[in-house]
Structure 1
Amino acid sequence: MPAPRRKAETTDTATADDRQPVSLGLLDNLLGYRLRRAQLSVFQDFLIVMKDFDLRPAQFSVLAIIAANPGLKQSRVSEALGINRANFVALLDELEQRKLARRAPAPGDRRSNALFLTPKGEGFLKDAYRHLVVQHEKRVETVLGSADKQQLLGLLEKLTALA
């Protein structure tokens, strides 16, 4: 007969101290840290809202840029979004496999690709945008308020001058 098993030790030893907020220390007043945390929060909400569309923020951004600039060279889209070339190629491959975007030879430059949305991609982007605005952007605006959202957009635009 096997020996009786001892009760496994639990690792749940949370004390009142463990439930206290963690001090951010030097991070508390660092803009970059706060921006990154805000970005993570906004992206997490985006992913939840876009789950049914199987759409990540970078994919949405690529589709939006292509829609606004049909025929733009692949390198220009990548540059506009700050996505490195290798990552952009993989991202675009996914969008092509899903038949949302397509590459075509760029006029006057056979070494470059011009990008276009497919008809399926155009409809997909419209539906995704409508869904995103109705849910995600409204939640963000509920947290910030309309005036603060507009002010934040302006301030963030100013910060892009650092790069």
Structure 2
Amino acid sequence: MNISVDFTATNVEEGIGYWLRRAQQTVLHDFSETFVPYDLRPAEFSLLMLLANHPGIKQSDAAEILGIQRANFVALVDALQQRGLAERRKPESDRRVQSLFLTRQGTDFVVETSGKWRQHESRMIARLGGIEERDQLVELLTRLAC
């Protein structure tokens, strides 16, 4: 069987996936450099911020919002729990559900690290050219993701 593929039709540098990956690498590199002193990964920070804004959120809902598979999410919560930053609680109304909360230490940690996150975001917004460009990018990425 002879398959002919025309590789001249599209250059990889013109592909959406190529530039999304390059942008992701840039953002993750800056995030990692910013949060080295805190030993914090982006998924951990995202979960901590989610818990700060939605205390008592069901574990399954948090995983869905963050787009993290259940098995990976359990390990993520375990890691934050071991660090004393988050805790699981079973509500009296439904003992089958796991609700997630920041601990006092977790709340202090979010307060301390949120300033670093704002600095990181400001650098990324500046690279884009400003707030309007950030908003445009978020709108386009939302369309692509949904």
TM-score by length of 2: 0.87
Please show how residues 1-163 of structure 1 align to structure 2 within 5 Å. Answer: 26-134=11-119, 136-146=120-130, 147-161=132-146
TM-score between both structures, scaled by the size of structure 1: 0.78
Residues 108-135 of structure 1: CA deviation (Å, up to 9, x unaligned): 221221000011111111211111212x
SS class of match (2:56): coil
Percent identity among equivalent residues?
45
Q: Name the Cα RMSD after superposition.
A: 1.3
* Paired letter, 2:96: R
* Cα distance in 2 for residues equivalent to 1:62 and 1:129: 13
Taking the aligned partners of 2:57 and 2:78, their CA distance within structure 1 comes to 16
Give ranges in structure 2 of 5+ residues lacking alignment. Answer: 1-9
Deviation digits for residues 77-122 of structure 1 (CA, Å, limit 9, x no counterpart): 0111110111111111110011110000034221221000011111
- What is the count of residue pairs matched by the alignment? 136
Kindly provide the amino acid, as one letter, of the partner of residue 23 in structure 2: A
Amino acid at match of 2:127: V
Larger radius of gyration: 1
Structure 1's consecutive aligned runs of 4 or more residues displaced over 2 angstroms after TM superposition are: 106-109
Q: What's the secondary structure of 1:111's corresponding residue?
A: coil
